[in-house]
Amino acid sequence: MKLLALCITLAVTSLSWANHTLEPLPRTIQYDRDKAALGKRLFFDPRLSKDGTVACVNCHTPQNGADNRRYSIGIQDREGHINSPTVFNSAFNFRLMWSGRARNLSEQVRMPVHNPIEMAMDESRINRYLTGTPSYEEAFRRIYHRPANFGDMSDAIAEFEKALITPDSRFDRFLRGEIDLKPLEKQGYHLFKRLGCITCHNGINLGGNSFQKMGLINPYTWRADNPDRFSLTRQPADKNIYRVPTLRNIALTAPYFHDGSAPTLEVALKKMAYHNLGFDLSPREVKALVAFLKTLTGKQPEILKEKSP
């Protein structure tokens, strides 16, 4: 009965989503250029890690804002068990991290910095490094009017991340009426709406704005160390519930899912439909959906092309 009720709810919601139109990314975004330039330098600086080898950019590369590894690798080649999400367009996500445990970009910064398998640094060592590096100390004093410190560093990195938008994807240009999509891509877009993908992947980032279950209809493997809502709340109902990932630039960020278990988009879509919608996609549907998802690749963020200070 429960399953039937769920299916009916999904069917009804996907009907109401069928006419939903998505929103293009803005072409430009307002941000503080001085802070973002400082944040960019920090984002690329491996000395923010304990052994001086791992910068944010190691796991969030300029190509796609993520890496193409199943699991990210931190200091001393320590491997985690979580796939790194892209930082591109992440300012539009309502929460950050798979579990949604960071409420904003600046709050997120301390998480990788302190994580023993990522950068393994503590606040006082960071403060010493920043105040002891004259070019940083000068920049922080000029911008924040006080000695360099962890809080302002997080603010500067967040400002840089805000600028990491990837506008003008073919899909966005289609939404603005500038170009038409190819027939297969359009079929994929219609399927995306009609099959119900859009019930969870919607809003400006086609995701990033709600918590949803992985395995809503057909259960998905659950591990005690999953980075899900349960890891925060310890409520059994929160097992395998994640902040829905964005689908922007999705063709560039294989492998997929929090556990990096889907090596290609094709595999990811088949699993998604089976676990969350309760049916198998036909090869034709997979092809059309992949063609549509490829139109979501935007331009590389401008700020990454600018010369560093």
Provide the annotated active-site residues.
Answer: 118
CA–CA gap between residue 1 and residue 126 (Å, rounded): 55
CA distance 33 to 99: 30
CB of 179 to ligand HEC, least distance (A): 22
**In the structure encoding, which two tokens stand for residue 175, read together?**
């939404």
Name the residue nearer to ligand HEC (CB basis): 175 or 232. 232
At closest approach, how far in Å is the CB of 69 from ligand HEC?
A: 9
Closest approach, Cβ 152 to ligand HEC, in A, equals 14
Q: What angle do CA 164, 170, 173 make, to 5 degrees?
A: 90
Task: Name the amino acid, one letter, at 134.
Answer: P
CB 91 → ligand HEC: shortest distance, Å? Answer: 9
* Nearer CB in complex with ligand HEC: 181/250: 250
Tell the residue number behind the tokens 């063609």, with chain if given: 291
Nearer to ligand HEC, 145 or 169 (CB): 169
Distance CA 120, CA 285 (A): 44
Largest CA distance in the chain: 67
Spatial separation of the C-alpha atoms in residues 18 and 204, rounded to whole Å: 16
Sign (positive or negative) of CA dihedral 9, 10, 14, 20? positive
Residue with Cβ nearer ligand HEC (143 or 154): 154
**Hey, what are 24's tokens?**
């293009």
Asked whether the beta carbons of 81 and 118 are under 8 A apart, the reply is: no
Binding region for ligand HEC (CB under 6 A)? 54, 56, 58-60, 72-74, 80, 82, 84-85, 87, 90, 93, 96-99, 105, 108-109, 112-113, 118-119, 157, 161, 195-197, 199-201, 212, 214, 216, 227, 242, 244-245, 247, 250, 253, 256-258, 268-269, 272-273, 276-277, 289
Residue type, 214: M
**CB of 178 or CB of 277, closer to ligand HEC:** 277
CA angle 204, 212, 206 (to 5 degrees): 15
